[in-house]
A and B are shown apart, each in its own frame.
Chain A
Amino acid sequence: MKNIFTKIYNWVDERVKLEDLVKFMGKKYVPVHRHSIWYYFGGVSLFFFIIQVTTGILLLFYYKGSSDLAFESVQFIMSKVQFGWLVRSIHAWAANLFILSAFIHMFSVYFEKAYRKPREITWVTGMLMFFMCLGFGFSGYLLPWNTLSFFATKVGTDIAGAVPIIGEPLRTFIRGGDDVSGATLSRLFGFHVALFPGIFTILLAIHLILIQRQGISEPMHFEEQHSSEKKTMPFFPNFLLRDLLLWLIVLNVLAILAVFFPADLGVKADPFSSAPAGIKPEWYFLFMFQSLKYFPSHILFAEGEVVGILLFGAAGLLWLLIPFWDRKSSRGEQNRFVNYLGIFAVIFIIILTILGWRS
């Protein structure tokens, strides 16, 4: 058996020089310190992305992206297709866990200041992928074409429409018309399965190449230590195997969730019915949705909701561009403001999400 593997390895090595790659990976080390646990969330996010792609392709075999057939096709997947329920439930659960894992990964990078020079591009590509995750969530939510998803999309696109100047055309573009309809479904389906995965893959490739090229970021306190005091672990195979172990645990959790709490289908969307009471977006949009409720109807000359949306937009931009304005961290100095801002953001998101959930 061992001989066969060696033969295959040698056969490939002879053609693509695998040895160089193994040598390169063997030289890569991962810093070991009290915050090392956070390094794994990047890998976990990648694992969820792989699951999403795999289950998404399987769902595509049966899903029909039209308002007449979407609901029925999902119903068919859930009831008739062998393990269709499992594939869809894993897709739905992995989507949520993917975003959760991306949130954790983003905040861990933020608090470790891993975005500082020379990793600005890695941060920006990561942030763009995070925004795309939210886009995946939003576009995928409508696809089963049930009442909840229909009206949540209506509310979501209405909020997008409130943005000054570009809001109206943006809403019309997303909806493919004045209102949420079959055209919206086709459009979001296209974004979900073609446009977003394409862009995401490019960003992911850049992100991963940069990580390999620049190595794993070391925390500031770690950098200050003498090289002899620095504790490290080989990326290959130690870190990669630990990653794999975590992936297996995550897979177990995912299977349990999918079996015990399979994805719900609800009732087919009826554009002529009234919106169900207490309609809410998915949990990852809830903090923004809930915040907008607290804005007064008018702030000076502008509508409260518009001010809220602009503030969130500005905050997102500020967050995206943090490597370029947090000069202190890049110089290796402590920046307490960034820490407090991060803590505020985490507390704000948690509290507003809970309030939104309970309202």
Chain B
Amino acid sequence: MNKIILSVMLLISSFMLAAQDKGKKVVDQCYVCHESLGSDEATLFKKDIHFQKGISCADCHGGDRQSDDMDKAMSKEAGYKGVPKGNEITQACIRCHASSEMMKKYGSKIPTNQFELLKGSVHGKLAIDGAERIVQCITCHNAHGIVEVTNPNSPVYPTNVPKTCGKCHDNPVYMRSYNPSLPVDQLQKYRTSVHGMRNAKGDPKPAECASCHGSHDIKNVKDVRSKVYPTNIPETCSKCHSDPQYMKEYKIPTNQYALYKKSVHGVALFEKHDLSAPVCNSCHGNHGATPPGVESISEVCGTCHALNAELFSSSPHKKAFDKQKLPECETCHSNHDIEKPTSKFLGVTPDAICSKCHKPDDKSKGYMVAKEMRLMIDSLASTEKIDSALVEEAEQKGMEINEAKFKLRDATQASMEARTMVHSFDEAKFNEVVNKGLTVTSSVKADASAAIHEYYFRRIGLGISVVIISFLALMLYLFIRRIEKKNANN
């Protein structure tokens, strides 16, 4: 009887297999059994993009997908590997994901270089056990239940990325093993940022971790190739912030990057390659990025321009600006398009910044102080220019003028100090610094002029001595001729 039942079952199975072969669809016996056993993995796998594409459990775990005999299907002979460990996991993924042919077979257009990128990334390094990479594909993408990245359920969907990254980066104990100096409060800060708050509300457009750091190709922030390396940050931010279409719904300008590039900070960064020049995150913060408020602008600028900020805080302008709710540094210097400050900013001429508020008709103290300061700083600049030309002239004439050249640096220093002292808006303090510079310039002028005078003195002196020596030589020559003539006659 049993033999009859078995024969019937085999017959049915053969028919089923024949039918599947005909329809080119093979029953995944792994999934059939594990699903019937109520396995979580099988339940998740049902929603997995790979399951939908006809990929079997056996494609990653090995074994015979067609066999309903557990012993046979999960035997070593059938190639069963069990649960992949360490780098085996990534190896299982890249069998398809690193092969354009395989990906084409499944009708996928996603890139096939993720593994290459991962290998070169900070996460591609060996973990502390030295046996596997820090990150495997499943660390971010999960193992079973993988959905497309555009699916809001994906752990790498923009609104889920911060939480996914935070699994490790929010864990001080784990992070300490790899980089003890790396902060672990990024997620916390991010949630306070404009990006983070919008992201938490389910908006996938604001920047999350991968938007700035990259995904598979994340480099150390000190790596020049990192998207968040100082010289790359403005461009990274501009990808979104300079795209009017992308930023349309947020109603904020999109010209910041264009303005920044031309600014004194942008020139320092891009042309002079000065890594200490501020970039977007220097003023806005990075993980907690937010526009600085009116009150905090001077604090933000003051992190670098400490003395200017301090002088301004104790100046009469502080109170006046606060009263009118004017942003402190930005009112005169602007924000993204900060120009190299020149003395033209100062004074009461139409192009001077002071004249925006201090009008000629009010004859206020501020107007008079601005006018006087401009006169003084112009006077220092012009004497410095004259001195510079004199020193250069003396040097070109081959005179030893190093001391005057050295002193000229003091004048330049005084000029810089004066520009800083402008922020005190205190005429007496300002004049003290300018006068210090003027004293130096007058000394340099005296030295350089003396050197030039000496140059001409030397030439005149040479002329006189050449004439005297030549005269002596001529006399001697005539004397010799006379003696020799006398000898010849004798």
A-B contact list, 13 entries, CB within 8 Å: A79-B400, A79-B402, A85-B400, A237-B483, A238-B487, A241-B476, A245-B473, A248-B470, A252-B473, A255-B462, A256-B462, A259-B459, A265-B402
Binary per-residue interface labels of chain A (192-220) against chain B in the complex, 1 for a CB within 8 Å, 0 otherwise: 00000000000000000000000000000
A21 near B: Cβ within 8 Å? no
- How distant is B468 from chain A, measured CB to nearest CB, in Å? 10
Inter-chain contacts of B469 with A (CB < 8 A) = 248, 251-252, 255
Q: Which 3 A-B pairs have the closest CB atoms?
A: A78-B400, A248-B473, A79-B400
List residues of chain A with CB within 8 A of the CB of B138.
none
B463-489 interface (Cβ within 8 A of A): 465-466, 469-470, 472-473, 476-477, 479-480, 483-484, 487
Complex contact A234–B398 (CB within 8 A):
no
Is A108 an interface position by the 8 A CB rule?
no
Instruction: Provide the main secondary structure of the chain B interface.
Output: helix
**From B401, B403, B459, B487, contact of A234 by CB (8 A):** B487
A79-B403, A237-B483, A265-B400 as given contacts; A256 in contact with B466, CB under 8 Å: yes
- Least distance between B470 CB and chain A CB atoms (Å): 6
Within the complex, the shortest CB–CB distance from B226 to chain A, in Å, comes to 31
Interface size bracket, B side = 20 to 34
Are B398 and A262 touching (Cβ within 8 A)?
Answer: yes
Q: Tell whether A238 pairs with B483 under 8 Å between CB atoms, given A79-B403, A248-B469, A252-B466.
A: yes
The answer to the question of A244 belonging to the interface, with a C-beta cut-off of 8 Å to chain B, is: yes
Instruction: Given contacts A248-B470, A262-B398, list 20 more A-B pairs with CB under 8 A.
Output: A75-B400, A75-B403, A79-B400, A233-B484, A234-B487, A238-B483, A238-B487, A241-B476, A242-B480, A248-B469, A248-B472, A249-B473, A251-B469, A252-B466, A255-B462, A255-B466, A256-B462, A259-B459, A259-B462, A265-B400
Residues of B within 8 A of A234 (CB): 487
| Neighbouring B residues of A237 by C-beta, 8 Å | 483
Does B319 make an interface contact (CB < 8 A)? Answer: no
Instruction: Give per-residue flags for B372-416: 1 if the beta carbon is below 8 A from chain A beta carbons, else 0.
Output: 000000000000000000000000001011110000000000000
A262–B396 Cα distance when bound, in Å, is: 12
Residues of B in contact with A (beta carbons under 8 Å apart): 398, 400-403, 458-459, 461-462, 465-466, 469-470, 472-473, 476-477, 479-480, 483-484, 487
> Interface digits, A223-254 against B, CB 8 Å rule (1 contact, 0 not)?
00000000001100110011011001101100
A79-B403, A259-B462 are known contacts. Are A238 and B473 too (CB-CB below 8 A)? Answer: no
Output the least CB separation between A248 and chain B (Å): 4
List the B side residues contacting A259 at CB < 8 Å: 458-459, 461-462
B63 to chain A, nearest CB (A): 65
Could you say which of A245, A252, A255 contacts B480, with CB atoms under 8 Å apart?
A: A245
How long is the Cα–Cα vector from A233 to B483 in the complex, in angstroms? 11
B458 CB, nearest partner CB in chain A, Å? 5
Docked CA distance A255–B463 (Å) = 10
Among A65-122, those with CB < 8 Å from B are 75, 78-79, 85-86
Contacts of B466 in A (CB 8 A): 252, 255-256
Which residues of chain B come closer than 8 Å to A242, judged between CB atoms? 480
A40-56, CB < 8 A from B: none
A75 touches B487 (CB 8 A): no
- What residues of B have a CB within 8 angstroms of the CB of A251 in the complex? 469
> How close is B154's CB to chain A, nearest CB, in angstroms?
55
Chain A residue nearest in CB terms to B461: A259
Query: Across the interface, do B476 and A248 meet the contact criterion of CB distance under 8 Å?
Result: yes
A173 vs chain B, min Cβ distance (A): 34
Q: Is the CB of B483 within 8 A of A241?
A: yes
Chain A contacts of B398 at CB under 8 A? Answer: 261-262
Nearest-Cβ distance from residue A244 to partner chain B, whole angstroms: 6
Residues of A within 8 A of B461 (CB): 259
CB pair A245 B477 closer than 8 Å? yes
A244-B462 contact in complex given A75-B402, A255-B469, C-beta closer than 8 Å: no
B473 contacts across to A, CB distance below 8 A:
245, 248-249, 252
Residues of the A chain whose Cβ atoms lie less than 8 Å from the Cβ of B487: 234, 238
| Chain A residue at minimum C-beta to C-beta distance from B472 | A248
B489 to chain A, nearest CB (A): 14
Which chain A residues border B459 with CB–CB below 8 Å? 259
A331 CB to closest chain B CB, in angstroms?
A: 35
For B465, the chain A residues whose CB sits under 8 A away are 255
Contact A252/B470 with A79-B402, A79-B403, A85-B400 known, Cβ cut-off 8 Å: yes
